[in-house]
Amino acid sequence: MNHDPTRGHTAHGTSGPLKPSPQPGRRTIHKGGLAANFWDYVERSTGERGLPRFLWQGTVLTLLYRLPTIGACILRSFVYRTVLGGIGSSCLIEADVRLHVPKRIFLGNRVFVGQYSYLDGQTSFLRLGNDVHLARFCTLRAGERGITIHDGAGINTRAYIDGNGEVEIGRNALLSPGVQVISGNHVFDRTDIPIRDQGTAYGKVTIGEDCWLGTNAILLPGVTVGRGSVVGAGAVVTRDFPDFSIALGVPARVVGRRGATGEKVDFV
């Protein structure tokens, strides 16, 4: 079988000119022994192989991340300036927020980060604009190309956003509980080697400003949801939607347009 990873099938069944990234022999734990694994952990946590940042970052986060009360939320917003890439004024970071590679995480003014959320700068960046609200139990993983969330966006509980292929979320967009934004898929064309060794196909996901994504909606790599669109609960978005679309179903399809005179949309 001829293998073209740029147009290969993926775990979600999409195909198209996504960007491949081969990962032969990738492992979570290094074979090189304790020392190699230690330095891998240092780099994974801080983004660099150096003890000063690792020790300082570990001290700051260990001492502060579990502290309760609003006072501790305010205290974290000040002290975390020493480990984050950037943080604006009047931010609130609740207890038990886990940060990986915080030097690649940038928060605007008045950003709220809810308890038990996980923010991972990985090898690129997380940028949250002014007045972004990140509810509890959310996961943001920057991956290789990063996540940008513009001003006023609201990300509800247990949302998952993967930035491997890049994700951009527009101003005042609303993501309901359980929304998943996936910008990378496994390639699985070949049967002679494991799927994990066939690489990953990436594609940028763009969510326009003032969109509303319903509970448990899923967006797959390479899609654009136009400005002011509404995506119904449980929908799986596999293609682009124009501005002000109303989309439902698996796979999601446009069933109406916001503002259309006399048009009634059946959400059942």
pLDDT at position 7, please? Answer: 34
| Cα(233)–Cα(48) distance, integer angstroms | 40
pLDDT at position 27, please? Answer: 59
Q: Where does the pLDDT of residue 190 fall: very low under 50, low under 70, confident under 90, or very high at 90 and above? A: very high
pTM over 0.95: no
Instruction: Show the tokens assigned to 219.
Output: 């967006």
pLDDT at position 33, please? Answer: 81
Q: Where does the pLDDT of residue 35 fall: very low under 50, low under 70, confident under 90, or very high at 90 and above? A: confident
Please check the confidence at residue 36 and state whether its pLDDT lies above 90. no
Q: How far is CA 216 from CA 202, 212, 223, 235, in A?
A: 21, 12, 17, 7
Q: What is the pLDDT of residues 68-88, one digit of tens each?
A: 999 999 999 999 999 999 999
In the sheet with 184-186, reading across from the earlier edge strand, the strands are 19-21, 200-202, 184-186
Q: What is the pLDDT of residues 213-242, one digit of tens each?
A: 999 999 999 999 999 999 999 999 999 999
Give bridge partners of residue 127 from the DSSP assignment. 106, 148
Domains of the chain by residue range = 5-23+31-255
Residues annotated as catalytic are 186
Q: What is the pLDDT of residues 83-115, one digit of tens each?
A: 999 999 999 999 999 999 999 999 999 999 999
**HEC string for 167-187:** EEECCCCEECCCCEECCEEEE
Specify the CATH superfamily of domain 5-23+31-255.
Answer: Hexapeptide repeat proteins (2.160.10.10)
